[in-house]
Each structure stands twice: as structure tokens, then as C-alpha cells.
Chain A
Amino acid sequence: MSLRTPLGRVRGLGSAKNGTAHWWMQRLTAIALVPLGIWLMASVVALVGADRTAVVAWLGRPVPAILMILLLTAGYYHLKLGLQVVIEDYIHSESLKLILQVLINFACVGLGFACVFAVLKIAFGG
């Protein structure tokens, strides 16, 4: 048994034992987003010219509501993972990097939950 902390192992370039989590979740959400992305494009095309009444009636049905929630949760998760890597690659100031990571996490979780709330509100009767 090692008495070194996970942080200590990472600083010594050892493994913190969760190296595949980011990669795996990115692929998992990617696979989910393939059919969901196609569904979004088809839905938006079908909704061209629709007023709010039509949009609310459509989102009020169970299948579109559930698919929209799945799309946005998988989408915002995938976006968070992607932006995290972009920041890690291009931002070299440690403090700015930390601030941006906190901001994209808050933004993705916050906006994701706001979308889920919006869909549920419409689905449960406007």
C-alpha cells in the first residue's frame, strides 16, 4: 500500500487511476449524439415556420421531450469535455486556466439544467 496521495502521484507523473474517464465519457456521449444530432436536424427542418403553439405542442409529447433532454445533457457534457481540452491545450497561464475551467463547468451544468427545466415545463403543461 502506498502512502502517497493521488495528487502526489500526479505531480510525480504517476497515475491518479482515472486517466480513461475523460476519454471514455467523450466517446460515450459522442455515440449517443450521432442519432440525437440527426434527430435534431430532422426536427428543426420539420419545425420551419412553426409558431410557439406548434413548438410547445411538439415538445409536449413524450418522445420529443425525452430525446431533447437526452440531446442537451449529452451535448453539454460533450461540450464541457471538449472545451476542457481546448483550454488545457492553448491557455498556458495556470490561474487563467483554472478560472476558465471553473467557468465552462458552471456554464455547461447551469445551461444544461436550464434546458432540462424548460423542456419539462413545456412537457408538463407550459
Chain B
Amino acid sequence: MAATGIFAESRTAIVNALTALSLAPVTDPRNARPLSVLINPPTFDAFTYNVGDIRFELLILAAPPGNQDAEDYLITTADTIMGSTTLAVTGGRPVSVTVGDQQIPAYSLTVAIAARRN
């Protein structure tokens, strides 16, 4: 079943914005890999039944190990996303995520987006 609704459309908007930045967004954790940006499911506050104040966590994934090369990639990519005039990045921090059985150096960014049904 394909996702529908304001959350799915918001996710699609973020995928499109990341693609326009020549990045490789993925929405399926099974496809998460180094040099991609994993978009996690959103959190949200409902303003009304029609309007959502939505937050997505983006995980920029670098190639292990977590060395200078990985950090250079992560902060450069974080800067690219933050520099987008369409994506509202509200914060970010370095993290380590487990993909498969492997620890991956990553950067977690929070992106805010508002969506209304009509």
C-alpha cells in the first residue's frame, strides 16, 4: 500500500528537495547505506484536523569508520541541506546509527514542514 495524505506528501516534498541537491534520499530503512540520506517517519503537532506542524528527522549516512573523512562528508552534506532555501532545518547533531550489524557515522537533522489537507 502506497502512503497517502499530508505526511506522505510532506515526505515526498523533502525527497524532491534533497534530490534537487544531488543527494540520495531513501525512505526505506532497508535501503539505508553510506552516502544516502535516510528520512525517518515524522513527528507532528496538529494545529487543526486540517493542518499539521510536522518534523522529519534526516539521517545523513557516511561511510565507516567515523574518522575525519566521514566527518568531512557529514558536515559538508549537512551544510548543503541547511543551505537549501526550501528546507527549514531547525537543528542537527552527530550520531551513530546501526545499519544491519554495522555502526555508521551519521548526522541527524531536524526539518520542519507545515502541511494542510486543503
A and B are partners in one complex rather than unrelated chains: no
